[in-house]
Amino acid sequence: MALLRDLFVAWVGFAGGLAVGAGYVGFITVLGIIPRLMQITKTWKKIRSYEWAIILGVMAGTLVSFVPVALGLPALLLVPVGLLSGIFIGLLAAALTEVLNVFPILAKRIGVHEYIIALMMALALGKVAGSLFHWLYFVYQQRV
């Protein structure tokens, strides 16, 4: 009976992974981040490199989620990784807001249409402040 339960749990986990993976690919495709990056950087001929970068990034992220990885590297080397991760998340957020036209609709609905630049700056600065607080307070507390 335990074997049947374990097989069912494995099947549900695999199905969930397929669903999340399909959603991720659909999300990246709808937002058009990869074609946009290739257009901006004029690297259309390196499409295979982009594909492999995404595949290897997803595989590495999955592996790190399941297996605790300790590289033993100095904390200073984490800065470029964090910077690149932040750039990617920023690209995702910018593409999503561009596709959905979130800010103009939000500004019009809450009646601050003439202050949209201030609204966007407040959101960006709030995000930066929240991220810094999280990393400097919570993450630093765990290391000490």
Distance CA 28, CA 35 (A): 10
Domain assignment of residue 11, yes or no: yes
pLDDT at 66 over 80: yes
Task: Let me know if residue 36 belongs to a domain.
Answer: yes
Q: Is residue 89 part of a domain?
A: no
Average pLDDT, the chain: 82
- Does residue 76 belong to any structural domain of this protein? no
Question: 30-47: per-residue pLDDT in tens?
Answer: 777 788 888 888 988 988
Average pLDDT for 100-123: 78
Cα of 87 vs its chain's centroid, Å:
9
pLDDT, average across residues 116-125: 82
Domain that holds residue 55: 1-69
- Closest CA relative to residue 116, chosen from 124, 104, 128: 104
Residue 94: inside a domain: no
Say yes or no to pLDDT of 136 above 80.
Answer: yes
Flag whether the pTM goes above 0.75.
Answer: no
Q: Is 43 helix (H, G, I), strand (E, B) or coil?
A: coil
User: Phi-psi bin for 72: left (phi > 0), alpha (psi -120 to 50), beta?
Assistant: left
- Where do runs of H (alpha helix) occur along the chain? 2-31, 33-41, 47-66, 78-100, 102-110, 116-133, 140-143
* Residue 20 within any structural domain of the chain: yes
Say if residues 113 and 107 touch (Cβ distance below 8 Å).
yes
Give one DSSP letter per residue of 112-128, joined into a string: -GGGHHHHHHHHHHHHH
Question: How many domains in the chain?
Answer: 1
Tell me how far apart the terminal alpha carbons of the chain are, to the nearest angstrom: 45
pLDDT at residue 62, as a whole number: 82
- Domain membership of residue 93 (yes or no) is no
Is 9 part of a structural domain of the chain? yes
